[in-house]
Structure 1
Amino acid sequence: MHLAIPVDDLTAARHFYGGVLGLPEGRSTDHWVDWNFEGHQLVTHLVPSVPQPAGTSLVERHTVPVPHFGLLLDEVRFHQFAERLRTARVRFDIEPHRRFPGERGEQWTMFFRDPADNAIEIKSFSDETMVFAA
Structure 2
Amino acid sequence: MRAAVHLAIPVNDLDTARSFYGDVLGLEQGRSSDHWIDWDLGGHQLVTHVVPRPTEQAGTSEVDGHRVPIPHFGLLLSPDNFHALADRLRTVGTEFLIEPYLRFPDQPGAQWTMFFLDSSGNALEFKAFLDESQVFAR
Counterparts of 2:61 and 2:121, CA distance in 1: 17
Counterparts of 1:109 and 1:74, CA distance in 2: 11
Q: Which runs of 5+ in 1 are unaligned?
A: none
Counterparts of 2:109 and 2:28, CA distance in 1: 31
Counterparts of 1:93 and 1:76, CA distance in 2: 21
- TM score, norm. by length of structure 2: 0.92
RMSD across aligned C-alpha pairs, in angstroms? 1.0
- TM score, norm. by length of structure 1: 0.95
Matched to 1:37, the amino acid is L
Counterparts of 1:110 and 1:39, CA distance in 2: 21
**Other-structure match for 2:48:** 44
Q: CA deviation at 1:81?
A: 1.0
**Other-structure match for 1:21:** 25
Q: Which runs of 5+ in 2 are unaligned?
A: none
Q: CA deviation at 1:117?
A: 0.6
- 1:11-52 deviation digits (Å, cap 9, x = unpaired): 110111111111111100001001111222111001121441
Corresponding pairs, count:
134
**Other-structure match for 2:84:** 80
Aligned 8 A contact 2:55 2:120 in 1: no
> Which consecutive segments of 4 or more residues in structure 1 shift more than 4 A?
none
**Other-structure match for 1:102:** 106
Counterparts of 2:108 and 2:30, CA distance in 1: 38
Residue of 30, 51, 63 corresponding to 2:67: 63
